[in-house]
Amino acid sequence: MDSAQFRKAAHAAIDEIINYYDTIGERRVVSEVEPGYLRKILPDGPPQEGEKWEDIQKDIEAKIMPGLTHWQHPNFMAWFPASSTYPGMLGELYSSAFTTAAFNWLCSPAVTELETVVLDWLAKLLNLPASFLSSGEGGGVVQGSASEAIVTVMVAARDKYLRESTAHLEGAEREIAIAEKRGRLVALGSEMAHSSTQKAALIAGTRFRAIPAGLEDNFGLTGKNFREIVDQCLLEGLEPFYLTASLGTTATCAVDNFGEIAEVLRDHPAIWVHVDAAYAGAALVCEEYQQLTHYMDNFDSFDMNMHKWLLTNFDASCLFVKRRRHLIDALSVTPSYLRNEFSDSGLVTDYRDWQIPLGRRFRALKIWFVMRTYGVEGLKNHIRNTVKLGELFCSMIQSRPDLFKVLTPPAFALTVLCVVPHSKSPASASVPQPKAAREAYSNSFTPDATSQALIDSNLLTKQVYEAVNSRAEIFVTGVVVKGTYAIRVVSANPKAEEKYIRRAFEILVEVAEEVRNQVGGKGMEPVRET
């Protein structure tokens, strides 16, 4: 493909992409292909001779589109969004044009330096303490995902703990002590923390223990529960070295009690605390959320994904650490072919030592383009608009207490709801609610709900969830939160608008009424929690 052919091909691609974005709402939000659909329609191998772009491009609409679930569809309300925006795409386009392995500064100084600059910008926007800026002992690095960031900091935490807790020993004695401690290390996270903490512990080769986080605390981790598990681990001879604290859990966007966690750390200063703000961290660009960073200086690391709610294309997981040397101590190995006078001088950052992979993409470009195209006000407006849509949606749900219950108060543009069985049934309005939700949204809450009532609600909610998704006008996620089946509806999509949220409510009402009338709460299979 020469330059002229590329120009033509790229213009055709741009046209197709624009058309896709302009008409995305007309497509079925979730793909309905059967597993294995693509192999059946593709040849067994690549062509011997090259093909023309026209022929390749045709296959995008014909063969790829049917297999896409459209995350940018305004009716995509599942999981958390994966933002895509035009300036983000331009960033990816230039990034691919400037391809470099970028494992050290000299590979392309701009890749490293722009990343340092825009992450300092972001740290300030998010109201992180100055200790997380590159001008101090900390700094930011773009990772591929929040889960990768958790592995990275957990490895750093593990090695820091092993190093510091054996600092009084030497030689073989120290080596033996470290080997013994490895088998006793335990990483912690609330039972509501994202599963990537558990996976990170698998990768780092340590134990993992989940800390209870109850309905009564709005599913946020309390200091009391944290302390109890730490004490219990110590009693069992285990050594807790790491905690994931969540700013916005996956299931309900719960926020852990950072003040209480910081209090516990006074007695257990060796525990590394990582704040996983993967989705909800984006809200920190708005002043009204910034009190959430009040205790951040007590913690070791913080991560948020601009690629979820902050209008930047996947991947842009922004990890900040308070002491960059902890990452470098754990992850640096520098052979001769990676040495150069700049790295040796210590004047430059070699981000390969801040991450698991060696090579890396020029991801800072899209962050820079997005920040400049939207401006700070544009970013804030997006957060505020979508939060408002979430509150609107929740208020609509609240307007039908005969049909729905809100499980937790609406948070960060997420609403978590359950369907309530017919009012004649004893299960009516029996979905348990946390304290905060009870106060703000109380309507005929029944604290002594029987477990049968919960089972009824669970079965009904699951059926409604499945019926809504199989109608495929909107796409939402089902979740089991401590035994309660619920539906998550997220209004944080870049294309989110009031009309779509209102329509989502209508659909939920229609489907809930339909399902409830059909089944009457009978003959449903039990919900499996895993």
Please list every residue from 93 through 122 that binds its own copies, using CB under 8 A. Answer: 93-101, 105-111, 113-114, 116-118, 121
Helix ranges, 268-406 (H): 306-309, 324-331, 341-345, 364-398
Please state, in angstroms and rounded to a whole number, the distance separating the CA atoms of residues 253 and 94.
Answer: 34
CA atoms within 13 A on the CB side of 256: 36
Helices (H) and strands (E) in the chain, counts: 17, 11
Please state, in angstroms and rounded to a whole number, the distance separating the CA atoms of residues 270 and 163.
Answer: 11
Query: Least distance to its own copies from the beta carbon of 314, Å?
Result: 5
Query: Least distance to its own copies from the beta carbon of 197, Å?
Result: 9
Please list every residue from 370 through 429 that binds its own copies, using CB under 8 A. Answer: 371-378
Stretch of 50-58, 296-304, 388-396, 503-511 contacting its own copies, by CB under 8 A: 50-58
Choose between 84 and 225: whose C-beta lies nearer to its own copies: 84
Look up residue 76 and give its DSSP letter.
B
Q: In one letter, which amino acid is 456?
A: D
Query: Least distance to its own copies from the beta carbon of 390, Å?
Result: 18
Task: Examine residue 130 and tell whether it contacts its own copies (CB under 8 A).
Answer: no
Choose between 62 and 224: whose C-beta lies nearer to its own copies: 62
Task: Examine residue 436 and tell whether it contacts its own copies (CB under 8 A).
Answer: no
Please list every residue from 239 through 258 that binds its own copies, using CB under 8 A. Answer: 250-251
Please list every residue from 192 through 211 that binds its own copies, using CB under 8 A. Answer: 195-196, 198-199, 202-206
Task: Examine residue 3 and tell whether it contacts its own copies (CB under 8 A).
Answer: yes
Stretch of 83-91, 221-229, 382-390, 512-520 contacting its own copies, by CB under 8 A: 83-91
Look up residue 247 and give its DSSP letter.
B
- Cβ atoms of 122 and 131 within 8 Å: the answer is no
What is the bridge-based pairing of β-strands 207-211 and 185-190? parallel
Query: Least distance to its own copies from the beta carbon of 9, Å?
Result: 6
Residue of 62, 64, 234, 472 that binds its own copies (CB under 8 A): 64
Task: Examine residue 145 and tell whether it contacts its own copies (CB under 8 A).
Answer: yes
The region that residue 244 occupies, defined by phi over 0 for left and psi between -120 and 50 for alpha, beta otherwise, is: beta
Choose between 108 and 395: whose C-beta lies nearer to its own copies: 108
Across-strand partners of 486? Answer: 479
Choose between 79 and 445: whose C-beta lies nearer to its own copies: 79
Phi/psi of residue 356, each to 5°? -80, -50
Stretch of 227-235, 318-326, 361-369, 405-413 contacting its own copies, by CB under 8 A: 361-369
Please state, in angstroms and rounded to a whole number, the distance separating the CA atoms of residues 315 and 222.
Answer: 31
Choose between 267 and 466: whose C-beta lies nearer to its own copies: 466
Query: Least distance to its own copies from the beta carbon of 302, Å?
Result: 18
Task: Examine residue 125 and tell whether it contacts its own copies (CB under 8 A).
Answer: yes
Task: Examine residue 359 and tell whether it contacts its own copies (CB under 8 A).
Answer: yes
Please state, in angstroms and rounded to a whole number, the distance separating the CA atoms of residues 105 and 221.
Answer: 40
CB atoms near residue 31 (< 10 Å): 16
Choose between 182 and 325: whose C-beta lies nearer to its own copies: 182
Q: Residue count at the site for its own copies (CB under 8 A)?
A: 148
Binding mask 17-36 for its own copies (x = CB under 8 A): xx-xxx-------xx-x-xx
Torsion of CA 392, 393, 395, 398, to 10 degrees: 180
Choose between 67 and 259: whose C-beta lies nearer to its own copies: 67
Choose between 262 and 455: whose C-beta lies nearer to its own copies: 455
Residue of 25, 28, 89, 388 that binds its own copies (CB under 8 A): 89
Please list every residue from 441 through 470 that binds its own copies, using CB under 8 A. Answer: none
Please state, in angstroms and rounded to a whole number, the distance separating the CA atoms of residues 225 and 453.
Answer: 28
Please state, in angstroms and rounded to a whole number, the distance separating the CA atoms of residues 291 and 313.
Answer: 27
Two tokens, residue 525: 């299979």
Binding mask 153-192 for its own copies (x = CB under 8 A): --x--xx----------------x-xxx-xxx--------
Q: Is it true that the peptide bond before 315 is cis, omega within 30 degrees of 0?
A: yes
Query: Least distance to its own copies from the beta carbon of 480, Å?
Result: 4
Stretch of 2-10, 267-275, 394-402, 503-511 contacting its own copies, by CB under 8 A: 2-10
Two tokens, residue 148: 């990768």
Stretch of 48-56, 255-263, 293-301, 515-523 contacting its own copies, by CB under 8 A: 48-56
Q: In one letter, which amino acid is 58?
A: K
- Cβ atoms of 323 and 374 within 8 Å: the answer is no
Helix (H, G, I), strand (E, B) or coil at 12: helix
Please state, in angstroms and rounded to a whole number, the distance separating the CA atoms of residues 295 and 258.
Answer: 6
Please state, in angstroms and rounded to a whole number, the distance separating the CA atoms of residues 389 and 198.
Answer: 33
CA atoms within 13 A on the CB side of 331: 23
Choose between 265 and 479: whose C-beta lies nearer to its own copies: 479
Task: Please count the residues of the chain.
Answer: 530
Query: Least distance to its own copies from the beta carbon of 422, Å?
Result: 26
Task: Examine residue 272 and tell whether it contacts its own copies (CB under 8 A).
Answer: no
